[in-house]
Amino acid sequence: MRLFLYISISFYFFISLLFAEETRQVDKHEHGVSELNIAIQSNTMVLEFMIPGADIVGFEYEAKSEQDKATVNAALTKFDDYNNIFIIPTNSKCLLVSSKININQEDDHDEHQEEAHNEFYAKYTFECGDIKSLDLLEFPYFETFSNYGELEVQFVSEIGSTSFEVEADNPIINIEGKI
Ligand SMILES: [Zn+2]
């Protein structure tokens, strides 16, 4: 009973974080470490990525030159098609119902551009016809972006939570039996 209560509280706490407005300070991140939160509730799955700009485009100052803007826009366009980032098994019948993709740029308090930080933020919400059949999630993210770092995954469903560290040499997680 106590364990169940603990899981329930952390689940709803986590869900409330996922659905809250983004308030994270981007300068707290570590270059080479991207974060992914996955939350499953009922037939809904939410994936939320927070990836340092250094890991995507190789810089984190605000793009001002035409070349840098083009680089950033090309990266954002890749996030628009989630299949560039992750692949969901088709038998789970998951359909994308909403997404939010942007860059959280740290306020530039000074002119020292090398100290600026930003993050790519991408959140995808799916409704799934057979959510319990979800097993392997693959991450073509590592092929899409050449500056990739490791991906730290926090996973939560109504039966508990777990975490994964994903790297390019084995870009897969297995969530079978965790939903
Ligand atoms: Zn940074």
Q: How far does residue 53's CA lie from ligand 1's centre (Å)? A: 7
pLDDT in tens, 68-93: 999 999 999 999 999 999 999 999 99
Q: How far does residue 115's CA lie from ligand 1's centre (Å)? A: 8
Q: How far does residue 107's CA lie from ligand 1's centre (Å)? A: 12
Q: How far does residue 152's CA lie from ligand 1's centre (Å)? A: 16
Is the predicted pLDDT of residue 6 greater than 90, yes or no?
A: no
Q: How far does residue 29's CA lie from ligand 1's centre (Å)? A: 6
Nearest-10 Cα torsion for 62, 67, 69, 70 = -150
The pTM assigned to this predicted structure is: 0.86
* Burial track 94-108 (b if 16+ CB lie within 10 A, e otherwise): beeeeeebebbbbee
51 confidence band (pLDDT: 50, 70, 90): very high
106 confidence band (pLDDT: 50, 70, 90): confident
Domain extent listing, the chain:
2-174
Q: How far apart are CA 21 and CA 166, in angstroms?
A: 26
Q: How far does residue 59's CA lie from ligand 1's centre (Å)? A: 8
Question: What is the mean pLDDT of the segment spanning 94-118?
Answer: 80
